[in-house]
Structure 1
Amino acid sequence: MERRISQRYGPFFEPIHSLEREYQRTRPNNAPRSLVLNTGTVVDAAGSGYVELGKTKVIVAVQGPRPPIRIRGGVENTMNGRITCEVVKSSFCYYSYESTRMANVGRGVSEEERLLSTRLVRVFEPIVILDKYPKCSIDLYVVILEDDGSAFAAMTLATSLALADASIEIISVVSSVTVAISTKQEYLVDPDRTESECAVGLITVSLPLHAAQLCEIQHTGKLSIQVWLSAVQLAVEVAQTIGNSMCQFLLQEMEKNETPSLCS
């Protein structure tokens, strides 16, 4: 009976469960997905940023600088400010039934969300001029509305927009890009979820545009040194292009806010 069912209905189910099926990329390998930027989306925050990378959607709100940090013994002794981060993945951001079911069972702070929070703080601690905010806290609240791949890159871009919108002093705007290495040794810029799952390696690069340094390089998979270096170089080039577009957007927003209204 099972064999007859498989023979008759197999073609209907096989494309759904197989990740090894032929995947057609609808854009050039070195081209990122469509990018949407916005600021000021959260009304009660000091600043906020919204980013869409294809179907991946992330919103970041900034609160602070808050008053001096309080602890049991009084005010914290250190004079330096600090950055805190809380990342939450919405239960409807997943694309598979199993992931959605697991997200809704015993919902709390997952290990993935904790790791993403740590990574984001690690990227922006050397970028924010914390000496300007002694004994204060700058709090980042990140919501991943949809995750169709390259979520951390979208988080980094949205955080840069949110900090700029909140007038937090930073060294530079930070851009980020993920590059996937396919089984055919192709370099896929800004991979979606399917491309990421089928890749043999993923490299995410986060870099400030106006500083000779890298904030972070995150690498998964086993790659040769030559492939790794080529992927990093490609990621840096694309990240600089995206970062320039982000700077142009921020300048346009600044000019728009400074332009007096015709009705005033």
Structure 2
Amino acid sequence: MPEGDAVWRTARRLHRALAGHRLEGADLRVPALATADLSGRRTVEVVPRGKHLLHRLEGDLTLHSHLRMEGSWRVHPVGRRHALGRAHTVRALLWTPARVAVGDSLGVLDLVRTSQEHRVVGHLGPDLLDPGYDGDRALHNVLSDPDRTITEACLDQRNVAGMGTIFTAEPLFVHAVNPWTPVGRLDPAQVEELLTTARRMLVLSCRVGRTTVTGRADVDADDAWVHGRVGLPCKRCGTAVRLATIGTQPQQRVMFYCPTCQGGLAPTDDGARQTPLGHGRRRYE
């Protein structure tokens, strides 16, 4: 699932292409919106809220979408509208005289009154990429269930919005915290540092224009401490990075970590040899 930085970049791309322009038409391919007519409405702005996108239109109307695992929004010259619209996975087409925005494989698409956006995003905790980010409230939310693992607490968008597995795994490694540690065993100052580091990494990724934890201009695909590096040597100690499940279904995830730097094997890790991604290891989805 795209993380907060990817959603932020998507919102900026849509905003730059559509803000201030009137829609010539819209094709919303979900049953509940099949008859919705957005033509003639001017785009006011497109903004992110955690992992949600809010496309605000004139007339107190917001087109709300969520990318989920496979979704995307792309902007193309309007002349490509008919060709792009043939794909069976397309869920939305929005076009002006110059540009067409294509929403493909969207996990959520609905229309709400702009004044009623709380109905779709009101459950979210403070957004790490919001200039007005409320760090005290986010910290309080994460600390509220001391028996929950720090990973699950950070990934819960009701606590703090924008963190996914990348921007949870990386701060946990940087601060040498085992991902399976119950929140109650951590000092509140440690949790505050984790959230601050996650926010710094997200902001850096927005500034650089791609997901990054270092910001290096010459970085290759290995721009991470642990995420995606299963079976490869830890950059800090040389121990093989490992991958194990965390949480319970349907919220179960997988988490990358270094057992030496982060306090031992996970309770769900049997210690069996794990090979690097793309080298015959069984795939984790």
Structure with greater helix share of residues: 1
Structure with greater strand share of residues: 1
TM-score (norm 1): 0.27
TM-score (norm 2): 0.26
